[in-house]
């Protein structure tokens, strides 16, 4: 069933989970100028719209800006909404165009592997680059309210925020990116997408074909969702525990044994990254394994993640420092993407959002004793 079809609009319950009659009543009140009714009306769509903006922009900060701008535009345009499409389709049109506007003033988001050859290891790291350069991690818990993808969708909600997919999207021209997300992730029809982007169906189909051709060789053969399902919850928890234990014991051998031979370790906003056991071992021994750590498991970008807390001498406690997002290949770790937060990044002359605020997004405590 397409989200904006006549059948979908006539259903008893909307995609937001709200009874159709209740949504119509709220819509009438909002059109009449009731901002409280408007807030209630869009609340059921807020989480999925934020996820959509993140897919478009690769940044939680930019996604929040796009969403706030989109909701303001929707409030202003609401008196002219005539119901020719579903409310959801109309909101996605506004959010997509808001995100496209931001892409005109922002460079694409990257991971360090795009910035040059791998380092040899050791403690000599390049200076941190501005936060606006980097992809940002997205909390799985923010996907909880996303509707399940329809049978027509190629990617489920968690697969569509995996790091490999988001990086690949960032390399598409913005309108191709929008078309691919709207068609393959959200399963809007070509007719709906043409209306959302004010273009023709032929242009939508052409853009989708070009996007498919561009990403064909950019994605891994197996998604992280497939890997996590094959491993099962118990094995995934065991990997998280072994990883945390190795870091806390400063056990380089145990940590290296968990990595694939060509594993990658990167730490945005630091552009330096490492590949292979020898380089990663040298880096770990000269850097992270000299510190004291504690850890909490989490999930980010549809992947296993670890909240890393660094020992703070002043309080003798542990403060948020890094979100490690692990890319698995079977029961091995193929990549560690360590998103450095304020307390850690400042040590490398970087500026970042306060770590406790970012950890809160992932449901992680602000500190550990």
Instruction: Give the domain ranges of the chain.
Output: 15-104, 163-221, 224-361
* pLDDT at position 147: 56
Confidence band, pLDDT 50/70/90 cuts, at residue 233: very high
What is the pLDDT averaged over residues 332-353?
68
What is the pLDDT, as a whole number, of residue 151?
66
Q: Which fold has domain 163-221?
A: Arc Repressor Mutant, subunit A (1.10.10)
pLDDT tens for 134-172 read 999 999 999 855 555 666 678 888 999 999 999 999 999
Q: Confidence class of residue 322 from pLDDT cuts 50, 70 and 90? A: very high
Q: Flag whether pLDDT at 67 surpasses 90.
A: yes
What is the three-state SS of the chain?
CCCCCHHHHCCCECCCCCEHHHHHHHHHHHHCCCHHHHHHHHHHHHHHHHHHHHHHHCCHHHHHHHHHHHHHHHHHHHHHCCCCCCHHHHHHHHHHHHHHHHHCCCCCCECHHHCCCCECCCCCCCCCCCHHHECCCCEHHHHCCCCCCCCCCCCCCCHHHCHHHHHHHHCCCHHHHHHHHHHHHCCCCHHHHHHHCCCCHHHHHHHHHHHHHHHCCCCCCCCHHHHHHHHCHHHHHHHHHHHHHHHHCCCHHHHHHCEEEEEEEEECCEEEEEECHHHHHHHHHHCHHHCCEEEEEEEECCEEEEEEEEEECCCCEEEEEEEEEEEEECCEEEEEEEEECHHHHHHHCCCCCCHHHHHHHCCCCCCEC
* Mean pLDDT, rounded, for 54-60: 97
CA distances (Å), origin 64, targets 48, 67, 90, 143, 150: 12, 5, 19, 14, 25
**Percentage of the chain surpassing pLDDT 90?**
71
Kindly tell me if the per-residue pLDDT of 21 is higher than 90.
no
What tokens were used for 263? 């594993």
What is the mean predicted confidence (pLDDT) over 312-328? 95
- Which pLDDT score is estimated for 129? 87
Look at the block and give the residue holding tokens 């996820």.
51
Residues with Cβ within 8 Å of 251's Cβ and at least 6 positions away in sequence, in order, are 245
Within 10 Å of residue 316's Cβ, how many Cβ atoms? 8
Distance CA 120, CA 150 (A): 46
Residue 12: per-residue pLDDT: 63
| pTM, to two decimals | 0.90
Question: 132 pLDDT band (50/70/90 cuts)?
Answer: confident
The stretch 31-48 carries a mean pLDDT of 90
8 A C-beta contact, residue 264 and residue 273:
yes
Average pLDDT over residues 10-37: 79
Token pair 């890393």 is found at 308
Q: What is the mean pLDDT of residues 233-262?
A: 98
**Strand arrangement, sheet containing 317-329:** 270-275, 259-267, 332-340, 317-329, 303-312, 293-300
pLDDT digits 0-9 by tens, 75-120: 999 998 888 889 999 999 999 999 999 999 888 999 999 888 898 8
Partners of 339 in the β-ladder: 323
Task: Give the pLDDT confidence score for residue 348 in this predicted structure.
Answer: 42
* pLDDT (0 to 100) of residue 9: 41
pLDDT above 70 covers a percentage of the chain that reads: 89
| Residue whose structure tokens are 């970087």 | 350
Give CA–CA dist 260/276, Å, rounded.
8
What CATH architecture applies to the domain 224-361? Answer: Roll (3.10)
CATH tag for 15-104 (out of 1.20.120.50, 1.10.150.120, 3.40.50.150, 1.10.1740.10):
1.10.1740.10
Structure tokens at 338: 């360590």
Average pLDDT, the chain: 89
Segment 299-305 shows an average pLDDT of 97
Residue 319: predicted pLDDT: 94
pLDDT of residue 50 exceeding 80, the answer is yes
Give the closest residue to 82 by CA, choosing from 29, 44, 35, 28.
28
> Token pair for residue 298?
């989490």
pLDDT tens digits along 260-297: 999 999 999 999 999 999 999 999 999 999 999 999 99
In this structure, the chain runs to a length of 369
């Amino acid at each position: 069933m397409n989200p904006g079809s006549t059948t979908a609009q006539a259903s008893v319950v909307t995609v937001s989970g709200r009874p159709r009659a209740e949504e119509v009543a709220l819509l009438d009140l909002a059109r009449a100028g009731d901002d409280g009714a408007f807030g209630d009306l869009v609340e059921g769509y807020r989480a999925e719209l934020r996820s959509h903006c993140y897919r478009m922009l690769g940044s939680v900060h930019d996604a929040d800006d796009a969403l706030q701008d989109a909701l303001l535009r929707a409030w202003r345009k609401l008196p002219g909404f005539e119901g020719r499409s579903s409310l959801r389709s109309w909101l996605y049109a506004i959010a997509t165009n808001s995100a496209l506007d931001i892409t005109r003033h922002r460079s694409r988001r990257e991971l360090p592997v795009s910035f040059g050859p791998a380092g040899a290891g050791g403690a000599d790291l390049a200076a941190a680059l501005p936060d606006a350069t980097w992809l940002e991690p997205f909390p799985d818990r923010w996907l909880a309210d996303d509707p399940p993808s329809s049978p027509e969708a190629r990617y489920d909600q968690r697969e569509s925020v995996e790091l490999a997919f988001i990086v690949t999207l960032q390399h598409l021209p913005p309108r191709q990116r929008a078309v691919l997300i709207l068609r393959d992730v959200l399963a809007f029809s070509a007719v709906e997408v043409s209306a959302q982007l004010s273009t023709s169906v032929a242009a939508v189909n052409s853009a989708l074909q070009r996007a498919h051709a561009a990403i064909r060789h950019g994605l891994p053969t197996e998604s992280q969702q497939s890997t996590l399902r094959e491993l099962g919850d118990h094995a995934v928890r065991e990997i998280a525990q072994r990883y945390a234990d190795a870091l806390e014991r400063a056990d380089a051998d145990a940590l290296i044994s968990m990595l694939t031979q060509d594993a990658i370790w990167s730490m945005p906003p630091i552009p330096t990254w490492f590949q292979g056991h020898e380089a990663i071992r040298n880096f770990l021994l000269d850097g992270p394994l000299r510190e004291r750590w504690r850890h909490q498991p989490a999930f980010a970008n549809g992947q296993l993640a670890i909240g890393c807390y660094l020992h703070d001498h002043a309080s003798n406690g542990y403060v948020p420092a890094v979100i490690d997002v692990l890319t698995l290949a079977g029961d091995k770790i193929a990549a560690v993407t360590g998103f450095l937060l304020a307390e850690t990044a400042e040590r490398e002359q970087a500026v970042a959002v306060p770590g406790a605020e970012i950890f809160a997004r992932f449901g992680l405590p602000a500190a550990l004793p």
